[in-house]
Amino acid sequence: MTHELRGKSAIAGLGHAGFGEAHGQTAYEIMAEASLTALADAGLGLGDVDGLFCTMMEDSMPVLMAAEYLGIQPGVMEGTMFGGSSFVDYLGKATMALNAGLCDVALICYGSNQRTAAGRLVTASRVPPYEGLYQPRYPVSAYAMAAARHMYEYGTTREQLADVAVAARAWARHNPEAFERGELTREDVLNARMISDPLGVRDCCLVTDGGGALVLVRGERAGDFPNAPVHVLGVGAGSTHRQISQMPDFTTTGARESGKRAFEMAGVGPGDIDVVELYDAFTINTILFLEDLGFCAKGDGGAFVADGRIAPGGALPVNTNGGGLSCVHPGMYGIFTIIEAARQIRGDAPGMQLDGVELALAHGNGGVLSSQVTAILGAASTV
């Protein structure tokens, strides 16, 4: 039986702004630039937006700040904040609101000047009460402990982790929008400065500026806009903890549940997916998510990513823009998994455009492997 939300919304426009270093710009300016670009891409304007879905790294009420900044008074506002996965989750919430007729044009947006504002960046997060005393470096030490456990249980190696970073860089080298485009070898990753063992600095995502935005409309209207529509076929969420010390099993994430739910709604499986965009805050993420989303068995992720399997020309294209490791990572990367997946379906990816992409998976991670949200996107042929 087809899920009642399958295909009920579509991405009509997308945009980004301020990639890399956006000197002299505020986070809200970057958010607004990305939003205007996405609306223009859809042939719409700010006056058409009646649903706003946004969170930011700063402020306790960012969706209000964003609405105020954009000069809109939307009837539907959603600002759930559970990290970078929130933006993938907004795809589901926006689909519900559109399908229920609560709004007609939903804008999902984000912006950050994390790189150029470094030193005066304020985060709304407080130190976890049962962890802060031990001074783990957040968030890297949390991911490092997950990586260490994965290595212990499954024999995953630092070389295999390095191959994730090498593959991301290989994609980024084709992408003029990517921040890091220099050659990167396995040895470079292994010899890089250690941050929190077993993760070195090249196992960690970039710190850049940047913003992104998406315009969603009801699926039935998807053909009325200038660009090829990208249909939202399934969205699923899962969460297991907030503080890393409460993660039930350090080698299995909520992506197992989020993936199952998204695939079920979309009525497809991992074998049907043409391109995979994962939130790769750290190299271990890609391995964990490929396993938990069902692209390989639990424990096989290290071997799966080795030797170019997920790199350009490999069997499974993963993070085709260069990911958070090499393209862009402005505090939260989630929205960029959707943007790159949608561009691959539309056929206007800025880097290496794959042939005949009909089904794409975008996966967001939030907190310290805490919240996971998976979306399945499809071309018009898949609806």
Partner 1 sequence: MSQMGPDATFREGLERGEIRLQKCRSCGQSVFFPRVACPNCHGIDLDWQQVSGKGEVYTTTTVRRKPERGGDYNVCMVELAEGARMMSRVTGFAPDLVAIGMAVTLFVGDIDDTAAVLCKPAEV
For partner 1, how many residues bind (rule: CB under 8 A)? 25
Instruction: Between 152 and 381, name the residue whose CB sits nearer to partner 1.
Output: 152
Q: Which stretch binds partner 1 (CB under 8 A): 19-27, 133-141, 203-211, 313-321?
A: 133-141
Residue 141 within binding range of partner 1, rule CB under 8 A: yes
Residue 73 within binding range of partner 1, rule CB under 8 A: no
Q: Which stretch binds partner 1 (CB under 8 A): 63-71, 242-250, 262-270, 321-329?
A: 242-250
- Residue from 36, 96, 102, 148 in contact with partner 1 (CB under 8 A): 148
Q: What is the DSSP string of 152-190?
A: HHH---HHHHHHHHHHHHHHHTT-TT-S--S---HHHHH
- Residue from 45, 152, 226, 381 in contact with partner 1 (CB under 8 A): 152
Q: What is the distance in angstroms between the CA of the first residue and the CA of the last residue of the chain?
A: 14
| CA–CA separation, 79 and 8 (whole Å) | 21
313 burial level (CB within 10 Å; 0-12, 13-18, 19+):
exposed
Instruction: Between 85 and 141, name the residue whose CB sits nearer to partner 1.
Output: 141
- Sequence-ordered list of residues with C-beta below 8 angstroms from that of 94, at least 6 positions apart, any chain: 9, 51, 53, 78, 103, 106, 108, 216
Residue 246 within binding range of partner 1, rule CB under 8 A: yes
Residue 40 within binding range of partner 1, rule CB under 8 A: no
Q: Which stretch binds partner 1 (CB under 8 A): 48-56, 187-195, 213-221, 370-378?
A: 187-195
Contact 190, 159 (CB under 8 A): yes
50 burial level (CB within 10 Å; 0-12, 13-18, 19+):
middle
Query: How far apart are CB 195 and partner 1 at their closest, in Å?
Result: 6
Q: Looking at the DSSP assignment, which residues form a beta bridge with residue 366?
A: 371
- Residue from 61, 124, 127, 194 in contact with partner 1 (CB under 8 A): 194
Query: How far apart are CB 370 and partner 1 at their closest, in Å?
Result: 15
Question: What residues from 103 to 132 belong to the interface with partner 1 (CB under 8 A)?
Answer: 129-131
Residue 196 within binding range of partner 1, rule CB under 8 A: yes
- Residue from 54, 165, 204, 244 in contact with partner 1 (CB under 8 A): 244
- Alpha helices for the chain (secondary structure H): 27-41, 62-70, 86-99, 140-154, 158-172, 186-191, 255-266, 283-292, 301-305, 323-326, 334-346
Interacting residues toward partner 1 by CB under 8 A: 129-131, 133-137, 141, 144-146, 148-149, 152, 193-198, 244-246, 250
